[in-house]
């Protein structure tokens, strides 16, 4: 099929961070011929995006954006800013302009965005790719190649939804449609909980270091570093994700605490059979992931 990136002629990326920047670089690298505009509150991000040739023009005031040239807007800021941005851009949008996002939370948030933005079409998107780094200075042009991408569309405008899907397919993503609330349970489990645990694990070592006066951070080997890479992620991005997907995250944390208690009890009781059972089952599951 022809690579037309959904046929969009002008794309505005709001938030020139790791993900917005990587999307702009991917589009350029894969041969997107339309114009890419960037908007960010942080002027240094705009400057960097222009230096990297990730965008054609950059703005830090919405009034200055050439709205008549834009038929797709992609929100790529922290998720708790989305509703406010949607309200602010709505008066500027052309009738047929589509709004989409890359946020890590969908659920009630995309329902809210759909309501704010209608009659414009809003298509929720979540690329399952990223790193612990932030900002366009750390953007990666191949980030979305062969990566899973979840679409959580609402409404009936199949044509516009397919255009958004085509754009991501043309930069190499493997797309899949999911109910937005199911999405939030799934990614609370496989992404948000691991981040919460990684942050909490580092916090535990801070506490133990303070309690003992021993700087435990002098000693980590590969295990601790592998396990906690994601605790170096942006606090602002993750604060917003935790709050916006609160109920699912609270539930997954409870389940995790139960698992930890189960292991703790087996260790306390020196129940070798139980310990082996827990570790073997987990190991097998982890090995099956490759």
Ligand X SMILES: O=C(O)C(=O)C[C@]1(C(=O)O)C=C[C@@H](O)C=C1
Give residue 39's Cα distance to chain centre: 18
Omega prior to 275 cis, within 30 of 0:
no
**Could you tell me the two tokens for 127?**
């690329």
Measured CA to CA, the distance from residue 11 to residue 24 in angstroms comes to 9
Q: Pick from 42, 81, 131, 234: which binds ligand X (CB under 6 A)?
A: 131
What's the closest the beta carbon of residue 65 comes to ligand NAD, in angstroms? 12
CB 62 within 8 A of CB 89: yes
Q: Is 184 in the site for ligand NAD (CB under 6 A)?
A: no
Sheet containing 98-101: give its strands across: 57-59, 35-39, 10-14, 72-75, 98-101, 122-123
Provide the minimum distance between the beta carbon of 192 and ligand X in the complex, in angstroms, as a whole number. 8
- C-beta separation of 131 from 18 below 8 A: yes
> Judged by CB, which is closer to ligand X: 40, or 240?
240
Contact region with ligand X (CB under 6 A), list: 56-64, 126-134, 203-211, 246-254: 126-134
Q: Which does 135 bind (CB under 5 to 8 A by kind): ligand X, ligand NAD, none?
A: ligand NAD
The residues in 223-252 that bind ligand X, with binding defined as CB under 6 A, are: 230
CA dihedral in degrees (31, 32, 34, 40; nearest 10)?
Answer: -120
Binding-residue pattern over the window 187 to 216 for ligand X, x denoting contact by CB under 6 A: ----x-------------------------
Residue number with CB closer to ligand X (93 or 129)? 129
Residue with tokens 């580092």: 202
Q: Is 54 among the residues that bind ligand NAD (CB under 6 A)?
A: no
134 contact, one of ligand NAD, ligand X, none, CB 5-8 Å limit per kind: ligand NAD
Nearer Cβ to ligand X, position 159 or 226?
226
Residue with smaller CB distance to ligand NAD, 233 or 266: 233
Residue 146 and residue 132: Cα distance in Å, rounded? Answer: 19
Burial of 33 per CB tally in 10 Å (0-12, 13-18, 19+): exposed
Stretch that binds ligand X, among 28-36, 122-130, 256-264, 272-280 (CB under 6 A): 122-130
The answer to whether residues 65 and 87 touch, using CB atoms and an 8 Å cutoff, is no
> Binding residue for ligand NAD (CB under 6 A) from 134, 165, 170, 184?
134
Candidate segments 116-124, 125-133, 163-171, 201-209, binder of ligand X by CB under 6 A: 125-133
Which residue in this structure is represented by tokens 């292991």? 263
Is 58 one of the binding residues for ligand NAD (CB under 6 A)? no
Question: Rounded distance, CA 145 to CA 30, Å?
Answer: 10
Question: What is the C-alpha separation between 136 and 113, in angstroms, rounded?
Answer: 25
Residues lying near ligand X in the complex (CB under 6 A) are found at 104, 128-132, 191, 230
Residues lying near ligand NAD in the complex (CB under 6 A) are found at 14-20, 40-42, 45, 76-79, 81, 85, 102-104, 127, 130-131, 134-135, 234, 237, 241
């Amino acid at each position: 099929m022809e690579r037309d990136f959904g046929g969009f002629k002008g794309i505005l990326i709001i938030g020139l961070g790791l993900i917005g920047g990587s999307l702009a670089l991917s589009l350029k690298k894969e041969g997107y011929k339309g114009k890419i505009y960037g908007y960010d509150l942080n002027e240094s991000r705009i400057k960097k995006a222009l230096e990297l040739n990730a965008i054609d023009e950059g703005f830090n005031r919405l009034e200055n954006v050439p709205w008549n040239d834009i038929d797709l807007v992609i929100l790529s800021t922290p998720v708790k800013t989305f509703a406010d941005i949607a309200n602010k851009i709505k008066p500027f949008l052309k009738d047929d302009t589509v709004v989409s996002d890359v946020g890590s939370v969908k659920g009630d948030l995309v329902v809210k965005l759909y309501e704010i933005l209608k009659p414009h079409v809003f298509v929720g998107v979540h690329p399952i790719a990223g790193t612990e780094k932030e900002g366009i200075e750390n953007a990666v042009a191949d980030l979305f190649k062969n990566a899973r991408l979840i679409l959580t569309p609402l409404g009936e405008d199949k044509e516009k939804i397919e255009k958004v899907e085509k754009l991501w397919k043309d930069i190499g993503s493997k797309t899949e449609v999911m109910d937005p609330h199911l999405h939030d349970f799934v990614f609370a489990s496989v992404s948000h909980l691991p981040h919460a645990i990684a942050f909490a694990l580092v916090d535990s070592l801070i506490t133990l270091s303070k309690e003992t006066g021993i700087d435990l951070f002098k000693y980590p080997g590969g295990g601790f570093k592998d396990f906690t890479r994601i605790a170096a992620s942006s606090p602002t991005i993750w604060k917003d994700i935790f709050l916006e997907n609160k109920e699912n995250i609270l539930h997954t944390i409870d389940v995790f605490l139960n698992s930890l208690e189960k292991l703790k009890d087996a260790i306390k009781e020196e129940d070798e059979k139980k310990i082996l059972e827990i570790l073997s089952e987990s190991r097998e599951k982890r090995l099956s992931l490759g």
